[in-house]
Homo-oligomer: A and B are copies of this chain.
């Protein structure tokens, strides 16, 4: 049992670590040559370009202005300063609502902190149960529920407090659900015209002997939505084309590289070998060789394009159907079209950036099978992942390696290498697995056939949360592999489970406090430092970057990463709610995490992360549901704990809590969830009417015609035009964001001016510019 001193020491260590990270961040971000690592969002928006070529050579790489270092923590107030509506304009609703999860954490736990410290801490402290018993205890335990004697009437206080926590959490959740639902509707309402507002994705178009897919779609919708159908775009299987375009792109990069090389040193034509990686093979003139190759690929691409468009086998039985009005699209997306409910399936089209093109043509039966397979696979992954990991670990011992690869023996016998293998390798298998886990879960979601990236991330997030719940939370509490837990679960009685876990809960408080500090405090500080992207960027910059375009590509802004970030927050909600009543001492640590992470992620969202898609906060029902789940789990565990405390008189009062909580959830589900799934006709009609009044002569057909062309086609179209290569991708994003964004970033690295305060982006400056 750790004492308060131990905890204090751990806190100090983690605070210092976090402080070092923050300091390093503050210094690194001011250096011009790191600009693309710490402000990629502004580059992506086209509001910032590479550090100016003017100025001294040194100042291109290092910021020499000492004043900027003095205000090294100023990014914090800056991150908080951007108001929410502007943040929505800047980074999208998804990001803004994602930040609200941290805020919700603060809203939930601040009143809980005051309540529990005011009431439960004195109640727990003024007992001598632990002192009288022979148990090994610390002052932390004196503050927790463990210090209450068996069967004491003081447990009523905990029951009452549990009600208070539940009611407060539900109240906060309801308020938040309401706000987010309104924000979503407001966002959809006030948004500019977007193609997905008019478009519905139709899957499983039945094959027809006489008609092509395109004709079938047109006929079907002309008949069944005569007043509303406008146009459609069939989905094509462009995987081969996509490969060819990729190849050509790479060749073009090499060509530019060799041309640059030749320009610098005109005395020698650059030569290369044609074999693998340029290691062997015939030696040829590199520029000519690449030109010839590009020529060849261009022809192949043209052929393949022809083929995809004309070959009926490349046309998938799916189409994006656009309507004349939002009302028509809303109707089509929400209704069943055909007698056979597995044909002509309609759903809202995701926005073009969000579509996951590869999964568009999976037939209905296969979907059921895939779903089931993945459910089973996930079950085994969660409960049996330890088996392959243990197997790899068994291989990774010294004797094993020597036996299997005897030629390595001389190397292994070297002392430091031996020490490394013995001490580090066994653990590394598990570590690698855990690092790969989000990717594995994402692949599983993709295999399942979900149709948009946002959906994929949501599914992965809920699986990641479950995995964490069993393998991080439960495994930490009952200390045993999950396999053993599963065994307990099957062998033990159902009613015993909360008891088993409940009893272990107070004893694990210090462990979780440490966990919060390491993962939540230092981890979050590490996130803002972006050590990995920083190193990778500079490595790429040094070894691989040949052209300015490559530098653009070497910049890895990353994204919020809903599929890993949200489950992490949820774990804190779970721990926080469970310990709120049991060990009130833990709450402040959770609060520090929420506050700090809120600031950090706000900064990252403003300056770093790229917005890959916009799902208009479609993930909120998941967030809400998981917090409710955590609430119910915390109630069950408290019941189990009190059950062993011989508090027979007070425990039954807890029975109503989970029922009430589930009732509350049902209510919220009915009241707010439809706002995240459907699009009310009233809204659609309102927007249609407004638009008709404003732009009576709008050419909607022209606007929608190519909105849902697969991105690869757009890339393939801009054939030899280098600069426009990604125009197809970006054009749409610009359509959307350039209008919405009112802010500009300075064109060069942050140099403190009279107005600016040395941190970027400079708000006052911008606000002044905005003023007429």
Q: Which residue numbers of A lie inside 8 Å of B, CB to CB?
A: 185, 220, 223-225, 227, 330-331, 334-339, 341-342, 344, 364-365, 368-369, 371-372, 376, 489-496, 659, 662-663, 666-667, 670-675, 678-683, 685
Contacts and interface: CB of A to CB of B under 8 A. Distances in A.
A682 B224 contact: yes
Given A330-B335, A335-B335, A495-B491, A341 B674 contact: yes
B376 A337 contact: no
Nearest to A491: B493
Given A330-B335, A659-B372, A341 B671 contact: yes
Contacts of A369: 663
A673 to B, nearest CB: 8
A505 to B, nearest CB: 21
Q: How many copies are assembled?
A: 2
Given A185-B339, A341-B680, 19 more contacts: A223-B682, A224-B681, A331-B331, A334-B334, A334-B335, A335-B681, A336-B674, A336-B678, A336-B679, A337-B680, A338-B680, A339-B675, A341-B670, A341-B678, A342-B671, A365-B667, A369-B663, A372-B662, A490-B494
A663 B372 contact: yes
Nearest to A493: B491
A666 B493 contact: no
A682 B339 CA distance: 7
27 contacts: A185-B339, A223-B682, A224-B681, A225-B681, A330-B335, A334-B336, A335-B680, A335-B681, A336-B678, A336-B680, A336-B681, A337-B682, A338-B680, A339-B682, A339-B683, A341-B674, A341-B675, A341-B680, A342-B671, A364-B670, A364-B671, A368-B663, A371-B666, A372-B662, A376-B659, A491-B495, A493-B494
B685 A224 contact: yes
A687 to B, nearest CB: 12
Nearest to A335: B334
A6 B335 CA distance: 59
Contacts of A666: 368, 371-372
Nearest to A330: B335
A625 to B, nearest CB: 16
Contacts of A667: 365, 368
Closest 5 CB pairs of A and B: A341-B674, A490-B495, A372-B663, A336-B678, A368-B667
Contacts of A662: 372
Nearest to A674: B341
Contacts of A489: 494
Contacts of A663: 368-369, 372
Contacts of A490: 493-495
A496 to B, nearest CB: 8
Contact of A681 (B185, B337, B365, B678): B337
Contacts of A220: 682
A681 B344 CA distance: 11
Contacts of A330: 335
A336 B342 CA distance: 22
A338 B682 contact: yes
A628 to B, nearest CB: 14
Contacts of A672: 341
A338 B492 CA distance: 49
A494 to B, nearest CB: 6
A678 B673 CA distance: 20
Nearest to A659: B376
A224 B680 CA distance: 10
A699 to B, nearest CB: 23
A337 B678 CA distance: 10
Contacts of A185: 339
A171 to B, nearest CB: 15
Contact of A342 (B225, B496, B659, B670): B670
A338 B674 CA distance: 10
Contact of A368 (B372, B496, B670): B670
A681 B346 CA distance: 12
Nearest to A327: B224
A754 to B, nearest CB: 48
Interface centre among A335, A338, A679 (most CB of B within 10 A): A335
A366 to B, nearest CB: 11
A490 B497 CA distance: 10
Contact of A339 (B364, B372, B494, B680): B680
Contacts of A678: 335-336, 341
A462 to B, nearest CB: 18
Nearest to A368: B667
A445 to B, nearest CB: 17
Contact of A331 (B335, B339, B342): B335
A90 to B, nearest CB: 26
Contacts of A376: 659
A341 B673 CA distance: 8
Nearest to A328: B331
